[in-house]
Structure 1
Amino acid sequence: METPVLIDNDRCTGCGICSRVCIFSVLSQDNNGTVPRINPEQHGRCVRCGQCETFCPSSAISVKYPAAWPTPDQPAPGSVTPTQIRELVQGRRTERQFRRQPVPRETIESMLDIVRYAPSAVNLQPVHWQIIEKEESRRALTAGVVRWLDEASRNGWYRELDAWLPELIRQWNEGTDLITHGAPCIIIAHTPRTSPAFYTDAVIALSYLDIVAPVFGIGTCWAGLVRKACENSPEVQKLTGIPEDHMVQHAMLAGYPALQHHQIPRRQPARIGWT
């Protein structure tokens, strides 16, 4: 059986780090200082996480599998300071007022090129992206969500929003969009239907996007009502344009903010327990 892990014997120093980080012992080392080998009994358990390649200090390991694309140049560890990351996270805001200016495709692609490094279970990288940018498509999707919300309100399917749904629907009927807020871009994270773990992978990826977007001048808003409607209505999910064998895991609004923030919002202290 062909292995996805290649070892360059000339580069390998026999440090043993690769076998230490391989949680299923696909790589094993008979003695300290020797070149590790592929364990034939464990070979089938390789989860293609890429840790062996990442941690090899002599660049003696390379991996070859569909998810292993070439890696870009990366900054040295520690090039982002705790202060910088704190300022980035604290400066992130939910945006519900957007300028009508379209977001260039190049900007979306640049953000998602970063987001693809978000972790996923056993490195399956199941998240796909559907970008709804045409106004008629965004309006059609939002109208579909409103129809489902109206049905949900009348049938009591969404009790936690009973106090708000009638107002959201009324405002839509009167010309005010409180569902997708006129955002020029709706970003759909979708995956194959094959694993319940993919929801977590999609939320992690969108969380990365939520942090990355402000660096590009883009504001975001989690679109929970869009996700809920897609989850419960085949009609609404079809309006997103994703493949039939995929499912919408979550959605996010994106666009250039219409307003400027002047304060950091108040937050509770972190609630931490120790054992």
Structure 2
Amino acid sequence: MSLFTIDETRCKRDGLCAADCPAGCIVFEEGGLPEPHERKQAYCLDCGHCMAVCPADAIRLTRFADGSVPVDRSLNISLDQSEQFLKARRSVRAFRDEPVDRGLLGRVLSVTEYCPSGHNARPTRWVVAEGGAKVAEVAGAVAEWMRAESEAESRLAASLHLPGIVRLWDGGTDIICRNAPALAVAVGPKQGITPQPDGVIATAYLELALTAAGLGACWCGYLMAAAAYDAGVRELLGVAGDEAVYGALMLGRPARRYPALPPRPEPSVDWL
């Protein structure tokens, strides 16, 4: 099966697809049609750069079921708008007591398939806990891991102040998942090109997309710690033995609005 197909009636014979292919999978000679490289086509990354750069929508990777979608430039945001959006993002730890629409969350999760990924491997998959009861079940499993660490007086229990968190949990206060109505956990393989940074980037993408969707989120660090050390938590999440948790977000509708930007120092930069 050929790597891609070319619509000869649309192709402008400009060679942009070949020039932009990061793996050199496309051969182009001036005046001709792009062709798959005999050897290098086996190294196609499925990145779709060839389709994205083609102004005539003339090329389609055979392994893609759908064609490209035109970019709507009218939706582009300015630097001022993006700066405002990014600076206004808040870690949300208080949520409205209402469910998160699955369709909306699914739409937002699909955005993460477009985030940067080493070798375009895109190894991250998502485990989602829907509803307060399911999130509380996950938080309870984390609390039990914390309790075991606290009773063992481990170094980890001391460094993460786990005894105090367990006391709060026993008293009815959840600072593990903050009574969130939903939880999204990024899971990926232990081995691969760059699975750990891929999971972190995907989680960061998700947090920003959630903000744009009117939702709020906060990294669930206690869950990530528990998943790293406790087999029971991993089993509850459906994490296989050759997988790891690389990100976790508690999420929902924010209980409060944030009408102001707090100050931040200027970044530390060394200009070479």
Note the alpha carbon deviations across 1:72-94, whole angstroms, 9 max, x for none.
45311772111111111111111
Which is worse superposed, 121-130 or 231-240?
A: 121-130
2:20 is matched with which residue?
21
For residues 94-136 of structure 1, give each alpha carbon's deviation from its aligned partner in whole angstroms, at most 9, with x where no partner exists.
Answer: 1111121111112211212333322222222222222102333
Aligned partners of 2:210, 2:201: CA distance in 1, in Å? 14
For residues 60 and 263 of structure 1, what CA distance do their matches in structure 2 show? 47
Task: Give the whole-Å Cα distance in 1 for the aligned partners of 2:87 and 2:50.
Answer: 34
The Cα of 1:244 is off from its aligned counterpart by 6.1
What's the counterpart of residue 48 of structure 1?
Answer: 46
Name the CA distance, whole Å, in 2 between partners of 1:133 and 1:9.
48
User: Residues 70 and 169 (structure 1 numbering): CA distance in 2 closer, same or farther, change over 3 Å?
Assistant: farther
Identify which of 206, 223, 227 aligns with 2:224.
227
- Given residue 100 of structure 1, which amino acid in structure 2 is its aligned partner? D
**Greater displacement, 223-232 / 8-17:** 8-17
The 3-state SS of whatever aligns with 1:141 is helix
Residue 246 of structure 2 corresponds to 249
Alpha-carbon spacing, 1:18–1:142, altered in 2? closer, same or farther (3 Å) = same
Task: Give, in angstroms, the shift of residue 55 of structure 1.
Answer: 0.8
Q: For residues 67-82 of structure 1, what are the structure 2 equivalents within 5 Å?
A: 69-76=66-73, 79-82=76-79
CA distance 1:62–1:185, shift in 2 (3 Å):
same
Instruction: Give the aligned residue type for 2:10.
Output: R
Counterpart CA distance in 1 for 2:213 and 2:165 is: 30
Residue-by-residue CA offset, 1:167-200 (whole Å, 9 max, x unaligned):
2121111111111111111111123444262221
Q: Does residue 63 in structure 1 map to residue 65 in structure 2?
A: no
Contact preservation (8 Å) 1:14, 1:34: yes
Q: What's the CA shift for 1:34?
A: 2.2
2:13–2:31 CA contact under 8 A, matched in 1: yes
Question: Do the aligned partners of 2:121 and 2:193 also contact (CA within 8 Å) in 1?
Answer: no
User: Does the Cα contact within 8 Å between 2:87 and 2:261 map onto a contact in 1?
Assistant: yes
State how far apart, in whole Å, the 1-side matches of 2:95 and 2:49 are. 41
Alpha-carbon contact 2:130-2:183 (below 8 Å) kept: yes
Q: How far apart are residue 270 of structure 1 and its match?
A: 2.0
CA contact (8 A) 2:57 2:68 kept: no
1:147 and 2:144 correspond = yes
Rounded to whole Å, the distance in 2 between the matches of 1:167 and 1:135 is 23
1:11 aligns with 10
Secondary structure of 2:73's counterpart equals coil
- 1:1-275 superposed matches below 5 A: 2-30=1-29, 32-65=30-63, 69-76=66-73, 79-153=76-150, 154-158=152-156, 162=159, 164-195=161-192, 197-242=194-239, 246-275=243-272
Q: Is the 8 A contact 2:3 2:41 kept in 1?
A: no
Q: Residue type of the partner of 1:156?
A: S
Give the secondary structure class of the aligned counterpart of 1:252. strand
Distance 1:15 1:71, change over 3 A: closer
Structure 1: which 5+ residue stretches go unaligned? none
CA RMSD of superposed structures (Å):
2.3
Cα distance 1:42–1:163, how it changes in 2: closer, same or farther (>3 A)? closer
3-state SS of 2:10 partner? coil
Q: Is the 8 A contact 1:127 1:189 kept in 2?
A: yes
Matched to 2:94, the amino acid is Q
The one-letter code sitting in structure 2 at the alignment partner of 1:58 is A
Distance apart, 1:237 and its partner CA = 1.1
TM-score by length of 1: 0.88
Could you tell me the TM-score, scaled by structure 2's length? Answer: 0.89
Partner Cα separation in structure 1 for residue 75 and residue 96 of structure 2: 36
Structure 1 stretches of 4+ with a deviation exceeding 4 A read: 68-73, 242-246
